[in-house]
Amino acid sequence: VLHSLRYLSVAVSEPGPGIPQFMSMGFLDGIPFQRYDSERGRDEPLTPWMEEGPKPGYWDSETETSKRSQQMDAVNLETVRGRYNQSGGLHTLQRDCGCDLLSDGRVRGSYWLGYDGQDFLSFEPRSQSFVAANSAAQVTTRSWNSDGVTVEHWTNYLEHICTEGLQKYVEYGREALERKEPPDVHVSGKEEFGTLILSCHVYGFYPRPIAVSWMKGDEIRDQETEWGGIVPNSDGTFHTWARIEVQPEEREQYRCRVEHSGMPEPGIFALEPESGRNLTLVVAVFVIAAIVILILLVGFIVWKLQSGRRQNHGYSPPAGKDMGTNGSSAGTE
Protein backbone atom coordinates (compact mmCIF):
# COMPACT_ATOMS: atom_id res chain seq x y z
CA VAL A 1 0.00 0.00 0.00
CA LEU A 2 1.45 3.36 -1.06
CA HIS A 3 -1.13 5.58 0.63
CA SER A 4 -4.40 5.04 2.49
CA LEU A 5 -7.37 7.21 3.42
CA ARG A 6 -9.79 6.07 6.11
CA TYR A 7 -12.70 7.63 7.96
CA LEU A 8 -13.79 6.20 11.31
CA SER A 9 -17.04 7.33 12.92
CA VAL A 10 -18.99 6.44 16.05
CA ALA A 11 -22.65 7.21 16.84
CA VAL A 12 -23.80 6.87 20.46
CA SER A 13 -27.36 6.25 21.64
CA GLU A 14 -26.88 7.92 25.03
CA PRO A 15 -24.32 10.74 24.84
CA GLY A 16 -22.98 12.38 27.98
CA PRO A 17 -20.29 14.78 29.21
CA GLY A 18 -17.23 14.22 27.06
CA ILE A 19 -19.07 11.60 24.97
CA PRO A 20 -20.55 13.28 21.87
CA GLN A 21 -23.52 11.81 20.07
CA PHE A 22 -21.42 11.52 16.92
CA MET A 23 -17.71 11.72 16.16
CA SER A 24 -15.77 11.21 12.93
CA MET A 25 -12.02 11.25 12.28
CA GLY A 26 -10.04 11.04 9.04
CA PHE A 27 -6.68 9.23 8.79
CA LEU A 28 -4.17 9.61 5.99
CA ASP A 29 -1.49 6.92 6.05
CA GLY A 30 -2.51 6.25 9.64
CA ILE A 31 -2.10 9.88 10.72
CA PRO A 32 -5.20 11.69 12.12
CA PHE A 33 -5.63 14.76 9.92
CA GLN A 34 -9.27 15.84 10.32
CA ARG A 35 -12.00 15.48 12.94
CA TYR A 36 -15.64 16.34 13.63
CA ASP A 37 -17.84 15.82 16.66
CA SER A 38 -21.40 16.85 17.44
CA GLU A 39 -20.39 18.95 20.46
CA ARG A 40 -18.10 21.25 18.46
CA GLY A 41 -20.35 21.01 15.40
CA ARG A 42 -17.56 21.71 12.91
CA ASP A 43 -14.81 19.88 11.03
CA GLU A 44 -11.31 20.84 12.15
CA PRO A 45 -7.78 20.21 10.83
CA LEU A 46 -5.37 18.14 12.92
CA THR A 47 -2.14 18.74 10.98
CA PRO A 48 -0.36 21.90 9.80
CA TRP A 49 -0.62 20.84 6.16
CA MET A 50 -4.40 20.49 6.46
CA GLU A 51 -4.58 23.96 7.96
CA GLU A 52 -2.67 25.42 5.01
CA GLY A 53 -3.64 23.22 2.05
CA PRO A 54 -7.43 23.34 1.45
CA LYS A 55 -9.07 26.11 -0.53
CA PRO A 56 -11.53 28.59 1.04
CA GLY A 57 -14.88 26.96 1.71
CA TYR A 58 -13.43 23.48 2.21
CA TRP A 59 -14.15 23.29 5.93
CA ASP A 60 -17.72 24.57 5.51
CA SER A 61 -18.35 21.87 2.91
CA GLU A 62 -16.81 19.14 5.07
CA THR A 63 -18.86 20.26 8.06
CA GLU A 64 -22.10 19.94 6.07
CA THR A 65 -21.08 16.44 4.96
CA SER A 66 -20.32 15.43 8.56
CA LYS A 67 -23.66 16.77 9.78
CA ARG A 68 -25.47 14.68 7.15
CA SER A 69 -23.48 11.63 8.28
CA GLN A 70 -24.44 12.39 11.85
CA GLN A 71 -28.14 12.43 10.96
CA MET A 72 -27.82 9.30 8.82
CA ASP A 73 -25.99 7.31 11.49
CA ALA A 74 -28.47 8.36 14.17
CA VAL A 75 -31.23 6.80 12.03
CA ASN A 76 -29.08 3.74 11.27
CA LEU A 77 -28.35 3.25 14.98
CA GLU A 78 -32.05 3.22 15.82
CA THR A 79 -32.70 0.80 12.95
CA VAL A 80 -29.99 -1.61 14.09
CA ARG A 81 -31.23 -1.47 17.69
CA GLY A 82 -34.57 -2.56 16.36
CA ARG A 83 -32.97 -5.47 14.50
CA TYR A 84 -31.72 -6.73 17.87
CA ASN A 85 -35.04 -5.93 19.64
CA GLN A 86 -33.32 -3.41 21.92
CA SER A 87 -35.25 -0.33 23.00
CA GLY A 88 -32.88 1.34 25.47
CA GLY A 89 -29.43 1.42 27.00
CA LEU A 90 -26.07 2.58 25.73
CA HIS A 91 -25.28 1.32 22.22
CA THR A 92 -22.87 2.38 19.50
CA LEU A 93 -22.71 2.22 15.73
CA GLN A 94 -19.23 2.25 14.17
CA ARG A 95 -18.37 2.89 10.54
CA ASP A 96 -14.99 2.38 8.84
CA CYS A 97 -14.69 3.32 5.19
CA GLY A 98 -11.91 4.40 2.88
CA CYS A 99 -9.54 3.46 0.10
CA ASP A 100 -5.94 2.32 -0.42
CA LEU A 101 -3.65 3.23 -3.29
CA LEU A 102 -1.69 0.07 -4.13
CA SER A 103 1.85 -0.11 -5.51
CA ASP A 104 0.57 -1.29 -8.90
CA GLY A 105 -1.66 1.78 -9.27
CA ARG A 106 -4.93 0.05 -8.40
CA VAL A 107 -7.28 1.45 -5.76
CA ARG A 108 -8.94 -0.80 -3.19
CA GLY A 109 -12.02 0.49 -1.35
CA SER A 110 -13.73 -0.88 1.75
CA TYR A 111 -16.79 -0.20 3.90
CA TRP A 112 -17.61 -1.78 7.27
CA LEU A 113 -20.44 -1.20 9.71
CA GLY A 114 -20.34 -2.46 13.30
CA TYR A 115 -22.75 -2.46 16.21
CA ASP A 116 -21.49 -2.41 19.80
CA GLY A 117 -18.04 -3.34 18.53
CA GLN A 118 -19.20 -6.42 16.59
CA ASP A 119 -19.42 -6.91 12.82
CA PHE A 120 -22.82 -6.01 11.37
CA LEU A 121 -22.31 -5.73 7.61
CA SER A 122 -19.75 -4.81 4.96
CA PHE A 123 -19.71 -3.73 1.33
CA GLU A 124 -17.98 -5.80 -1.36
CA PRO A 125 -16.83 -3.47 -4.18
CA ARG A 126 -16.20 -6.33 -6.64
CA SER A 127 -19.73 -7.69 -6.43
CA GLN A 128 -21.15 -4.25 -5.60
CA SER A 129 -23.30 -5.63 -2.82
CA PHE A 130 -23.62 -5.53 0.96
CA VAL A 131 -22.89 -8.69 2.94
CA ALA A 132 -24.49 -9.47 6.32
CA ALA A 133 -22.26 -10.57 9.18
CA ASN A 134 -25.16 -12.18 11.08
CA SER A 135 -28.87 -12.87 10.84
CA ALA A 136 -29.80 -9.51 12.39
CA ALA A 137 -28.15 -7.70 9.45
CA GLN A 138 -29.87 -9.66 6.69
CA VAL A 139 -32.92 -7.41 6.54
CA THR A 140 -30.71 -4.33 6.19
CA THR A 141 -28.49 -5.86 3.49
CA ARG A 142 -31.50 -6.95 1.45
CA SER A 143 -32.96 -3.45 1.71
CA TRP A 144 -29.73 -1.66 0.77
CA ASN A 145 -28.94 -4.05 -2.07
CA SER A 146 -32.35 -3.54 -3.67
CA ASP A 147 -33.21 0.13 -3.08
CA GLY A 148 -31.24 1.28 -6.14
CA VAL A 149 -29.54 4.10 -4.22
CA THR A 150 -27.28 2.84 -1.44
CA VAL A 151 -25.14 0.51 -3.57
CA GLU A 152 -24.68 3.18 -6.23
CA HIS A 153 -23.77 5.78 -3.59
CA TRP A 154 -21.03 3.71 -1.95
CA THR A 155 -19.69 2.38 -5.25
CA ASN A 156 -19.26 5.95 -6.49
CA TYR A 157 -17.70 7.02 -3.20
CA LEU A 158 -15.16 4.20 -2.98
CA GLU A 159 -14.16 4.27 -6.66
CA HIS A 160 -14.13 8.02 -7.31
CA ILE A 161 -14.72 10.41 -4.40
CA CYS A 162 -12.41 8.62 -1.97
CA THR A 163 -9.68 8.25 -4.58
CA GLU A 164 -9.81 11.93 -5.50
CA GLY A 165 -9.69 12.90 -1.82
CA LEU A 166 -6.72 10.60 -1.22
CA GLN A 167 -4.72 12.13 -4.05
CA LYS A 168 -5.60 15.67 -2.91
CA TYR A 169 -4.61 15.09 0.72
CA VAL A 170 -1.36 13.36 -0.26
CA GLU A 171 -0.46 16.44 -2.28
CA TYR A 172 -1.21 18.70 0.71
CA GLY A 173 1.02 16.70 3.00
CA ARG A 174 3.58 15.35 0.53
CA GLU A 175 6.62 16.77 2.31
CA ALA A 176 5.57 15.33 5.66
CA LEU A 177 4.22 12.06 4.24
CA GLU A 178 7.28 11.20 2.14
CA ARG A 179 9.86 11.77 4.86
CA LYS A 180 11.73 8.78 6.28
CA GLU A 181 12.20 8.39 10.04
CA PRO A 182 14.22 5.29 11.01
CA PRO A 183 13.07 3.38 14.08
CA ASP A 184 14.71 3.17 17.49
CA VAL A 185 14.76 -0.45 18.66
CA HIS A 186 14.94 -1.70 22.23
CA VAL A 187 15.10 -5.43 23.07
CA SER A 188 14.32 -6.51 26.62
CA GLY A 189 13.65 -9.72 28.50
CA LYS A 190 11.78 -10.79 31.61
CA GLU A 191 11.64 -14.21 33.26
CA GLU A 192 8.30 -15.48 34.58
CA PHE A 193 7.66 -18.99 35.91
CA GLY A 194 10.68 -20.46 34.18
CA THR A 195 9.97 -18.81 30.81
CA LEU A 196 11.86 -15.88 29.29
CA ILE A 197 9.63 -13.32 27.55
CA LEU A 198 11.60 -11.39 24.94
CA SER A 199 10.13 -8.07 23.78
CA CYS A 200 11.22 -6.01 20.80
CA HIS A 201 9.92 -2.44 21.06
CA VAL A 202 10.22 -0.24 17.96
CA TYR A 203 9.74 3.51 18.34
CA GLY A 204 9.58 6.73 16.34
CA PHE A 205 9.44 5.42 12.77
CA TYR A 206 7.74 6.84 9.69
CA PRO A 207 6.14 5.87 7.32
CA ARG A 208 3.84 3.33 8.95
CA PRO A 209 4.70 0.08 7.08
CA ILE A 210 7.23 -1.96 9.02
CA ALA A 211 8.18 -5.62 9.49
CA VAL A 212 9.22 -6.85 12.94
CA SER A 213 10.12 -10.53 13.41
CA TRP A 214 11.81 -12.75 15.96
CA MET A 215 14.53 -15.08 14.71
CA LYS A 216 16.12 -18.14 16.28
CA GLY A 217 19.44 -18.43 14.53
CA ASP A 218 18.59 -17.80 10.86
CA GLU A 219 14.99 -19.00 11.15
CA ILE A 220 12.07 -16.56 11.47
CA ARG A 221 9.64 -17.70 14.19
CA ASP A 222 6.43 -15.90 13.20
CA GLN A 223 4.12 -18.66 14.45
CA GLU A 224 5.41 -18.19 18.00
CA THR A 225 5.43 -14.37 17.88
CA GLU A 226 2.80 -12.03 19.32
CA TRP A 227 2.57 -8.59 17.72
CA GLY A 228 1.18 -5.30 18.96
CA GLY A 229 -0.60 -2.86 16.69
CA ILE A 230 1.19 -0.11 14.79
CA VAL A 231 0.11 2.91 16.83
CA PRO A 232 0.56 6.62 16.00
CA ASN A 233 2.56 8.90 18.29
CA SER A 234 1.71 12.54 18.96
CA ASP A 235 4.58 13.69 16.71
CA GLY A 236 3.26 11.83 13.64
CA THR A 237 5.59 8.83 13.97
CA PHE A 238 4.57 5.31 14.99
CA HIS A 239 5.50 2.62 17.48
CA THR A 240 4.92 -1.13 17.74
CA TRP A 241 6.26 -4.26 19.45
CA ALA A 242 6.75 -8.00 18.98
CA ARG A 243 7.03 -10.55 21.77
CA ILE A 244 8.06 -14.21 22.01
CA GLU A 245 8.38 -16.76 24.84
CA VAL A 246 11.59 -18.85 24.92
CA GLN A 247 13.60 -21.06 27.23
CA PRO A 248 15.97 -18.96 29.39
CA GLU A 249 19.00 -21.00 28.39
CA GLU A 250 18.31 -20.20 24.70
CA ARG A 251 18.32 -16.43 25.11
CA GLU A 252 21.54 -15.99 23.11
CA GLN A 253 20.00 -17.69 20.06
CA TYR A 254 17.22 -15.13 19.54
CA ARG A 255 17.39 -11.87 17.59
CA CYS A 256 14.80 -9.26 16.62
CA ARG A 257 14.74 -8.39 12.90
CA VAL A 258 13.36 -4.99 11.87
CA GLU A 259 12.83 -3.90 8.27
CA HIS A 260 11.74 -0.34 7.45
CA SER A 261 12.13 2.07 4.53
CA GLY A 262 13.99 4.52 6.79
CA MET A 263 16.78 1.97 7.33
CA PRO A 264 19.49 1.31 4.71
CA GLU A 265 19.06 -2.43 5.36
CA PRO A 266 17.17 -4.66 7.80
CA GLY A 267 18.53 -4.46 11.34
CA ILE A 268 19.22 -7.41 13.65
CA PHE A 269 18.98 -6.64 17.37
CA ALA A 270 19.98 -8.83 20.31
CA LEU A 271 18.87 -8.83 23.93
CA GLU A 272 20.55 -5.85 25.54
CA PRO A 273 23.09 -6.65 28.30
CA GLU A 274 21.30 -4.63 30.94
CA SER A 275 18.06 -6.48 30.24
CA GLY A 276 16.80 -9.76 31.64
CA ARG A 277 19.71 -10.95 33.80
CA ASN A 278 21.35 -7.80 35.12
CA LEU A 279 19.44 -7.58 38.40
CA THR A 280 22.21 -9.34 40.36
CA LEU A 281 24.84 -7.02 38.88
CA VAL A 282 22.81 -3.92 39.73
CA VAL A 283 22.25 -5.10 43.31
CA ALA A 284 25.97 -5.91 43.67
CA VAL A 285 26.95 -2.44 42.49
CA PHE A 286 24.62 -0.80 44.98
CA VAL A 287 25.90 -3.01 47.82
CA ILE A 288 29.54 -2.19 47.01
CA ALA A 289 28.72 1.52 46.80
CA ALA A 290 26.96 1.36 50.18
CA ILE A 291 29.99 -0.37 51.76
CA VAL A 292 32.39 2.23 50.38
CA ILE A 293 30.20 5.07 51.68
CA LEU A 294 29.99 3.36 55.09
CA ILE A 295 33.81 2.98 55.26
CA LEU A 296 34.31 6.64 54.38
CA LEU A 297 31.75 7.70 56.98
CA VAL A 298 33.41 5.61 59.71
CA GLY A 299 36.83 6.99 58.75
CA PHE A 300 35.52 10.55 58.97
CA ILE A 301 34.06 9.92 62.44
CA VAL A 302 37.35 8.39 63.68
CA TRP A 303 39.31 11.37 62.30
CA LYS A 304 36.96 13.81 64.06
CA LEU A 305 37.35 11.94 67.37
CA GLN A 306 41.15 11.96 67.08
CA SER A 307 41.15 15.67 66.25
CA GLY A 308 39.05 16.34 69.34
CA ARG A 309 41.48 14.44 71.56
CA ARG A 310 44.45 16.46 70.27
CA GLN A 311 42.65 19.74 71.04
CA ASN A 312 41.75 18.50 74.53
CA HIS A 313 45.49 17.82 75.18
CA GLY A 314 46.48 21.44 74.46
CA TYR A 315 47.10 21.30 70.74
CA SER A 316 46.68 24.64 68.92
CA PRO A 317 47.74 26.02 65.54
CA PRO A 318 51.25 27.45 65.30
CA ALA A 319 51.60 31.09 66.36
CA GLY A 320 51.25 33.64 63.59
CA LYS A 321 48.70 31.60 61.56
CA ASP A 322 44.93 32.09 61.38
CA MET A 323 43.17 29.02 59.91
CA GLY A 324 40.57 29.90 57.23
CA THR A 325 37.16 28.29 56.99
CA ASN A 326 38.30 25.91 54.26
CA GLY A 327 41.35 24.74 56.23
CA SER A 328 43.90 26.86 54.31
CA SER A 329 46.19 29.38 55.97
CA ALA A 330 45.05 32.99 55.86
CA GLY A 331 46.80 36.22 56.84
CA THR A 332 50.32 34.70 56.77
CA GLU A 333 53.01 37.27 57.25
Please report the pLDDT score of residue 104 as a whole number.
Answer: 85
pLDDT exceeds 50 at position 213 = yes
pTM of the model: 0.70
For the chain, the domains span 3-177, 184-269
> Which band of pLDDT confidence, cut at 50, 70 and 90, is reported for residue 312?
very low
End-to-end CA distance of the chain: 86
pLDDT of residue 269: 96
Q: Which CATH architecture has domain 184-269?
A: Sandwich (2.60)
For residue 277, pLDDT over 80 is answered with: no
Q: Which CATH architecture has domain 3-177?
A: 2-Layer Sandwich (3.30)
Tens of pLDDT, residue by residue over 255-274, are: 999 999 999 999 999 997 75
pLDDT digits (tens, 9 = 90+) for 73-104: 999 999 999 999 998 889 999 999 999 998 88
| Mean of per-residue pLDDT scores for the chain | 85
Cis peptide leading into 207, omega within 30 of 0?
Answer: yes
| Structure confidence by residue, pLDDT tens digits, 291-305 | 656 666 655 555 555
pLDDT at site 289: 58
d(CA 109, CA 324): 84
Q: What is the structure's pLDDT at 281?
A: 45
